[in-house]
Amino acid sequence: MNRELVKKIVIGAAIVLGALILFRVVVSIANGFKKQTPVIFNISDVKLEKQTVPHVLSVQGILEGDPQVKVYPQVPGKFAKNNVVEGQMVNKGDIISYIDRDIVGATFELAPVKSPIAGMVTKLYYMDRGDSVSPEMPMAEVANQDDIKVVFNLGQDDLLKVHKGQSAQVYYVNDSAIGVTATVASVPPVVDKDIMAGTVVVKAPNKGRTLKIGMSVNVDILTEEKENFVVPEKAVLLGEDGAYVYVNKNGKASQVKITTGYRINDMIEIEGPFATGDEVVTDGNFRLFEGASVDDSPPTSTATAKAK
């Protein structure tokens, strides 16, 4: 094979290779100019409207009568007998128990221990005849069932929110339907420095005796009512920088940082740079990112599509 032929073959191969490369470049450039089909995320959203949001402080406590008192003897001696049983209703001045004054060389009639209030005997402390008693030791407890109270401690931050006269709800811990409307009756003027808390008393009428003395109850105190935006809890997402939601702005997702507030059932109060009418994404938000295209149109069913 002579040198001229080899040269022609090499030149021909180079031309073919160059043509292939040029073709690939042209195709790539042409594909680059083609319009990419954008990804559109289907979402659901709600329009923001300000609502009245009740701010409620919730605590637990034990239901007591109002009043509920311990009954003390006036003289020392030995327990003789009870004149009532637990659960029995008594009037003011009724005899609860008797004491044998047991003084050597003297004979006394049994000393009665009387109830200072009308109500139900909730507890008898003595049952065994001959037990020593003194005026410092209670013999019984009597509670008025027609009026009730709940006494509990609140920390200094919560105490700032509570004031005498505020409305409250007291209800059984296992059934919120069993309850009464109450009022904050007492709030301490200062915080106890030893426990950094204060004792609050909530009182309520209990004429139908809906609640029973000794029940575990929840107390919800209405501290204030505030006009704010509320969204379903599922609209709120958590990130490294805190809570946020996505807002549908003309078909584009915009991430907005928020501060969350009180929860009401499955709704939550939010604060942020919002305006009435803003559309907050509630479904499909976990897939979104800043600037993502979104569509909140309801999906078209197969039946509807065929009808068209």
State the SS3 of 128-186: CCCCEECCCCCCEEEECCCEEEEEEEEEHHHHCCCCCCCEEEEEECCEEEEEEEEEEEE
Q: Does domain 57-61+149-226 have CATH number 2.40.30.170?
A: yes
Which whole-number Å values give the CA distances from 215 to 53, 124, 173, 200, 296, in the listed order?
A: 29, 18, 8, 18, 49
Domain ranges of the chain: 42-50+227-295, 57-61+149-226, 67-143
Q: CA 102 to CA 111: how far, in whole Å?
A: 10
Q: What architecture is the 42-50+227-295 domain classified under in CATH?
A: Beta Barrel (2.40)
- Helix (H) / strand (E) containing 17: helix 3-33
pLDDT tier at 101, thresholds 50, 70, 90: confident
pLDDT tier at 97, thresholds 50, 70, 90: very high
More confident residue, 291 or 17: 291
The predicted pLDDT at position 109 comes to: 87
Q: Is a pLDDT exceeding 60 seen at residue 308?
A: no
The predicted pLDDT at position 204 comes to: 96
The pTM assigned to this predicted structure is 0.67
pLDDT in tens, 34-54: 555 678 999 999 999 999 999
Residue range 145-169: average pLDDT? 94
Q: Does domain 67-143 have CATH number 2.40.50.100?
A: yes
Give the CA angle between residues 157, 161, 165 to the nearest 5°.
145
Bond prior to 67 in cis (omega within 30° of 0): yes
The predicted pLDDT at position 5 comes to: 66
Question: Who's near 231: CB < 8 A, 6+ residues apart?
Answer: 46, 48, 245, 267, 268, 270, 280, 282
Question: What are the beta bridge partners of residue 168?
Answer: 182, 221
Q: Which residue has the tokens 């990112």?
A: 289
Contact 206, 150 (CB under 8 A): no
Residue range 211-234: average pLDDT? 94
Contact 57, 162 (CB under 8 A): yes
pLDDT in tens, 259-278: 999 888 899 999 999 999 99
Residue range 135-139: average pLDDT? 94
Look at the chain and count its residues.
Answer: 308
Q: CA 200 to CA 218: how far, in whole Å?
A: 14
The predicted pLDDT at position 264 comes to: 84
3-state helix, strand, coil in the chain (%, to 5): 15, 50, 35
The predicted pLDDT at position 25 comes to: 66
Helix (H/G/I), strand (E/B), else coil: 37: coil
Contact 196, 155 (CB under 8 A): yes
pLDDT tier at 218, thresholds 50, 70, 90: very high
Residue range 89-101: average pLDDT? 94
The predicted pLDDT at position 295 comes to: 93
Residue range 235-244: average pLDDT? 93
